[in-house]
A = this chain, B = another copy of it.
Amino acid sequence: MSVLQRLQQLGIVLPEPISPLGSYKTLSVAGNQLHVSGLGPFENGQPMVGIVGDDMTVEQGQHAARLTLLMILACIEHAYGLDNLQRCIRLTVYVRATQSFTQHPAVANGASDLLQALFGADQLPARSALGVYSLPMGIPVEIDSIFELKPAGHDAVKRS
């Protein structure tokens, strides 16, 4: 089953992809790797705002991480097609949290649990999760990612 079919099966609708907030590209291809710019969580077209451990719970942070991954997927689908992805190689999850916050891995699971559902447990990425002091627009989570592209000439029929 393709990633798009799995998303549909899970009843997930991707958000509108956002445009860059400056002089960069959301996606940058290097060989068979797709580097994705740091992205954040949007709901109803608006960025989510908050600090995890202060005005947001761990569960709300997880939800923000999940929404961020959906934005990553939406941007990839818009520009390249999700079915050209082999797997995610690495995720870096920046959590805007209080100084005493310790549950960054739980927050990051909001993103990587969805990767597991889409790509399978044997295809999980390396991951880093850490707490930052501030983030663009006041978002609670920002995620960097690198994906591996399928070799050229893979079952491209699915994209037609």
Give A contacts to B, CB under 8 Å. 20-28, 30-33, 35-38, 89-92, 94-95, 97-106, 108-109, 112-113, 115-116, 121, 124-138, 142, 144, 146, 148
Pairwise interchain contact B130-A135, C-beta atoms closer than 8 A: yes
- The quantity of this chain's copies bound in the complex is 3
Closest to A95 in B: B134
**Chain B, Cβ-Cβ closest to A30:** B89
Q: Which of B20, B24, B30, B102 contacts A138 (CB 8 A)?
A: B102
Checking B30, B109, B127 against A37 with a beta-carbon cut-off of 8 angstroms, the contacting residue is B127
**Residues on B with beta carbons closer than 8 Å to the beta carbon of A129:** 38, 136
Q: Are A24 and B91 in contact (CB under 8 A)?
A: yes
Identity of the chain B residue whose Cβ is nearest the Cβ of A21 in the assembled complex: B105
Shortest Cβ distance from A35 into B: residue: B126
> Which residues from chain B contact A126 at a C-beta distance below 8 Å?
24-28, 35-37
Other A-B contacts than A35-B89, A38-B128, 9 sampled, CB-CB below 8 A, are A22-B106, A23-B112, A23-B113, A24-B126, A37-B126, A101-B134, A102-B134, A128-B144, A131-B134
